[in-house]
Amino acid sequence: MSTQTTFKPVKNKALITASVMLATIIQVLDTTIANVALPHMQGSLSATQDQIAWVLTSYIIATAIMTLPTGWMAGRYGRKKLLLASITGFTLSSMLCGFATSIDEMVLYRIIQGACGAALIPISQAVLLDINPKEKHGSAMAIWGVGIMVGPIIGPTLGGYLTEVFDWRWVFFINLPLGIISFMGISSFLTESDTSDRPFDMFGFFTLSIAIASIQLLLDRGQQVDWFSSQEILIYLGLIVAMFWMFLVHSRYARHPFLSVELFRDLNFVTSSIFIFMVGLVMLATLALLPPFMQNLMEYSVMSVGITMAPRGIGTMIGMMISGKMSDKVDPRPLVLFGMALIAFSLWQMTQFNSSVPQSLLISSGVIQGIGLGFVFVPLSTITFSTLDPKFRTEASSLFNLVRNLGNSIGISAVVAYLGYSIQTNHSYLGENITEFNTGLADHFMPQAVGSSTAALSILNAEINRQAATIGYINDFYLMMYVVLLSMPLIFLLSNPRKSKK
């Protein structure tokens, strides 16, 4: 689908960009900044381990659910009003989180915070596309992409610093000055968008929200309750299937479905959404695996892990800025393919890791993967909206970002679950060969060499655990590499956005 529109230059474009991106950054930041403060919150709020986990889970679920109606709300009330209301609600709820005195209050305020901040990311993406001509969409998406990546990169570090130097409550108080600056900038420089009176499909929203919430609960709770052996997880699975089925049937016959049918008639948008879901499976999964790999198997300190991981984020930003400039001038599809090849290569490098891998390889593989993600994220975002009518941008951005976040959640849960399975399986396999008749072990683990038979067995068991864990991490890296390789043919379903006129 292609429509001809005339771009109208926008005043104060730089200030609008800075204002909406600041709002986006504080929302993304709050997804990760609270992680390192959880132990301090747990003691202060007298919460159990399961209870404190809801500080993260409640925020993620509220954000996922309220991302869905962003397109409708922006169309009904206008983007500017929705942005200002979202920033106000997000900032005030952040302050309430900082003042929380019980775990119940904290979870409630985190739900409000997630719900209020849900619209910030999709609207910021739509605004940047609207205030830039099509030939500058690549550069605009590079700026937006860097903002999206800032949170996962600096969130844990900033959260740790604020918690150690001040108090865990400052993890939330930091949003106040940033929210005020963003509010003032948007209210001063952003003009209001057109509105429409499209009816709200309550049944479609309800069924899809229950399905999305069930997915998030299944992923967050699965590891704790042993996945599908738990009645709780089976209930979530049943809700996912039933609600999705009801949503699809209802959308097929509804006069005004919750999600515009036009979105799914655009091949670039549909294919890009599938693509970003597949990329999302590995985007944050590596970040979930490498820190425990370095800390538990290589005995790195927290500071050393941070130093080793930081170049990956720098690589991502470099990749985004380069690909953003190139996307404005060339067909972005080869850039996406190049980025996927870099990600696959970096994952292959990681399959060569062992418990004494040099730090240089940890850093270089991370930088290569970061550059690859940058080369995928920006051109793919450009392609996604290239053939879509501009009036669907906010709704499309909401769905696109929701799919990406679901990919992130599923990817992290999958690699963590597979890691546990691999460790258990390989521990059993390696232990099969540990017998009194294995003379090759005698010289290394003789009781007289370490003081006693108990000490010898403890050392031996620790080494088996270490090797089983190493194999488990390698299996995860292989799994992610195969996911990337299987995703690459999707590029041939995308059309060249430079040939479409928008």
> Would residue 234 count as lying in a domain?
no
Measured at the CA of 135, the angle between CA 133 and CA 139, to 5 degrees, comes to 90
Q: Which domain range does residue 139 map to?
A: 1-200
Q: What is the pLDDT of residue 401?
A: 83
Same domain, 356 and 489: yes
Rounded to whole angstroms, the Cα distance separating 212 from 402 reads: 9
Among residues 185, 200, 215, the one where a domain terminates is 200
- Clarify whether residues 310 and 406 are in a common domain: yes
First to last CA, the chain: 10
Does 90 score more than 70 pLDDT? yes
Q: What tokens does 250 get?
A: 């209802």
Does the residue 371 lie in any domain? yes
Lookup: tokens for 363: 């850093």
Residues 196 and 306 in one domain: no
198 secondary structure, DSSP code: P
Quickly count: other Cβ atoms within 10 Å of residue 235's Cβ.
13
Residues 451 and 304 in one domain: yes
pLDDT per position as a tens digit, 288-303: 788 888 878 888 776 6
**Do 243 and 207 form a contact (C-beta atoms < 8 A)?**
yes
145, 167, 200: which is the final residue of a domain? 200
The residue-averaged pLDDT of 489-497 equals: 83
364 — pLDDT class (breaks 50, 70, 90): very high
- Look at the chain and count its residues: 502
pLDDT for 164 beyond 80:
no
What confidence tier does 1 reach under pLDDT thresholds 50, 70, 90?
Answer: very low
For residue 386, what is the domain's CATH number? 1.20.1250.20
57 to 25, 47, 348, 407, 473: CA distances (angstroms): 20, 15, 32, 16, 25
Per the domain annotation, does 240 fall within a domain? no
Q: Which one has a higher pLDDT value, 289 or 431?
A: 289
207 within domain boundaries: no
Co-location of 133 and 5 in the same domain: yes
246 lies in a domain?
Answer: no
Residue with the bigger pLDDT between 180 and 283: it is 180
- 183 shares its domain with 272: no
Is 241 inside any structural domain? no
**Residue 488 to residue 380: CA distance in whole angstroms:** 12
The pLDDT tens digits for 58-85 are 888 888 888 888 888 888 888 889 999 9
State whether 189 and 321 are in the same domain. Answer: no
Reading phi first (left if > 0) and then psi (alpha if -120 to 50, else beta), residue 357 is in beta
Whether the per-residue pLDDT at 277 is higher than 60: the answer is: yes
Rounded to two decimals, what is the model's pTM? 0.80
Residue percentage of the chain with pLDDT more than 90: 15
Query: Do both 173 and 279 map to the same domain?
Result: no
Q: Are residues 146 and 269 in the same domain?
A: no
Is residue 165 domain-resident? yes
pLDDT of 216 higher than 70: yes
Task: Count how many domains the chain has.
Answer: 2
Q: Please report the pLDDT score of residue 4 as a whole number.
A: 45
- Is residue 27 within a helix (H) or strand (E), and if so which, with residue range? helix 13-32
The answer on pLDDT for 319 being more than 80 is yes
216 located within any domain: no
159, 178, 200 — which closes off a domain?
200
Residues 187 and 281 in one domain: no
Distances from the Cα of 206 to the Cα of 202, 212, 263, angstroms: 6, 10, 20
What is the average per-residue pLDDT within 249-264? 84
Residues 464-480 as b or e (16 or more Cβ within 10 Å = b) = bbebbbbbbbbbbbebb
Instruction: State whether 280 and 361 are in the same domain.
Output: yes
Is residue 180 located within the same domain as residue 292?
A: no
